[in-house]
Structure 1
Amino acid sequence: MIRVIIAEDQKLLRGTLTSLLSMEEDIEVVAEAENGLQAWDAIRQHEPDVCLLDIEIPSLTGLEVAEKLREEGCPSKIIIVTTFARPGFLQKAMDLKVDGYLLKDEPIDFLIHSIRKVMAGERVISTDLAAVLFLKEENPLSERETNVLRLSRSGLSTREIAKQLFLTDGTVRNYLSIAIQKMEVETRQQATEKAHERGWI
């Protein structure tokens, strides 16, 4: 029996996946989670064979959960599911050596087949996502610029970002200005959205 945990913040989709997977004779959904922290706790409690993680769940993202699992040497297979084919996210997933990376609009049969394939030691990537790997853009942002944009996107002011990163207001403004130039846009908001779309923050 393949024991699966599903981490997905959309209740309807999570319930549907659980129902459909549970119809398979060799698959059992042992827990559901609506955010990354719940997923982390559930994985440690149940020690599943496969972790099915939505990439943008709250608290901890699917990729952050995957990173923690890899750091701890967890033997569970990891399948990331996503709505968008963002090169930056895909590259992070590949760097973490996740076992599967699937688009949410794949047929349920493809997901079921993918679960069985990763259990057999194979890696599965949606065809449309595999093509994105060849279009990969290098992230031009430094680690500090990335952190500043990420905090800006979460709604923090320049002063709040400075306080959190132990920087001066002027230094934060400089990092934002450089990031805006690198993103080839005109505003902070445009820079954060473009970086997010690319999967860099």
Structure 2
Amino acid sequence: MPELRQVHDMRSANGVEVASATESGTAESGTADSAGVAELRSEFCVDVRTETLREALNHIGTRAGWTLRRTVGPDTCLVIDEPKALIGHSIARSTILVVDPTPWGAHAGMKALASGTVSAVVSSERPTDLCEALRTVRAGWASVPLDVLEAASKMPDLTERQVAIVGAVISGQPTREIAKGLYLSDASIKRELATLFRSFGADNRLALAALGTSLGFRPRRVCP
């Protein structure tokens, strides 16, 4: 995940400015009105695996007047960057998933949204979009920025087996090891590879690995 910079800039690309709380307890805002400011003053919980992202979200939350929590209650908005973090947090009313700015990350976010696992998806390249996402989910709507939709549209439509094979190819596993790990024959893996070459527009395994990496796939060995 790329390092997040310039998180002090509270104005997002779509013109939304976060309300910042003052010491007197009032709020200063740009485009947000008083009702929007009150709506933003809510508790949220950050459960992310990337330290730079955590710092960015903490900074934005402080500026916006949100109260950061490490435990989740019924009215808490959970901000995560790993779907596994949802385990044990089923009581959260709404969840925002921060994804890698790649077709793979965006596609995973869209799947989570479609399944109802999360209420909104935000790209890690645009942490200030979290402000708009919080407003949207608190109003009862789902939220996906255009850049995430565009990235997800670049992702080939693959089966779970094909996804596993791409990860194995990127990790450098030979065909025989992949076949053994997936309990398939060498011939079956070769047929899947031929299909993947066509889907990705690749001529060989090296090209498939390079294209898969550019889309956000991660090296992942398959084991029996």
Q: TM-score range by the shorter chain?
A: 0.5 to 0.7
Deviation digits for residues 145-184 of structure 1 (CA, Å, limit 9, x no counterpart)? 3322222223433232122111233332332123213322
Partner in structure 1 of residue 35 of structure 2? none
- Residues 1:102 and 2:129 aligned together: no
Kindly report which structure 2 residues correspond to 1:133-152, keeping only aligned pairs within 5 A, or say none: 136=153, 139-152=156-169
**Residue identity opposite 1:50 in structure 2:** C
Give the drift of 1:79. Answer: 1.3
Deviation digits for residues 100-143 of structure 1 (CA, Å, limit 9, x no counterpart)? 112234363x423422432332222223334x28x836845444
Residue-pair matches, total: 171
SS in 2 for 1:78: strand
- Residues 1:27 and 2:67 aligned together: yes
Deviation digits for residues 5-44 of structure 1 (CA, Å, limit 9, x no counterpart)? 23142x23322322331454442141xxxxxxxxxxxxxx
Change (3 A) 1:27 1:176: same
Partner in structure 1 of residue 23 of structure 2? none
**Residue identity opposite 2:139 in structure 1:** A
Instruction: Provide the TM-score with structure 1 as the length reference.
Output: 0.65
- Residues 1:4 and 2:4 aligned together: no
Change (3 A) 1:16 1:142: closer
Residue from 44, 47, 50 that aligns with 2:72: 47
**Is residue 137–residue 143 contact of structure 2 (8 Å, CA) maintained in 1?**
yes
Partner in structure 1 of residue 130 of structure 2? 111
**Residue identity opposite 2:122 in structure 1:** L
Q: Distance in 1 between matches of 2:111 and 2:214?
A: 14
Q: Distance in 1 between matches of 2:155 and 2:66?
A: 41
What is the percentage of aligned positions where both structures have the same residue? 20
Q: Distance in 2 between matches of 1:128 and 1:189?
A: 28
Q: Distance in 1 between matches of 2:187 and 2:137?
A: 49
SS in 1 for 2:167: helix
Give the drift of 1:197. Answer: 4.8
Partner in structure 2 of residue 125 of structure 1? 144
Residue from 82, 95, 109 that aligns with 2:99: 82
The structure number with the bigger radius of gyration is 2
Q: Distance in 2 between matches of 1:198 and 1:94?
A: 20
Give the gaps of 5 or more residues in structure 2.
1-41, 219-224
Q: Distance in 2 between matches of 1:153 and 1:179?
A: 13
Partner in structure 1 of residue 55 of structure 2? 15
Instruction: Provide the TM-score with structure 2 as the length reference.
Output: 0.59
Kindly report which structure 2 residues correspond to 1:37-76, keeping only aligned pairs within 5 A, or say none: 46-47=71-72, 49-54=76-81, 62=82, 64-65=83-84, 74-76=90-92
SS in 2 for 1:124: coil
Higher percent of residues as helix: 1
Give the gaps of 5 or more residues in structure 1.
31-45, 55-61
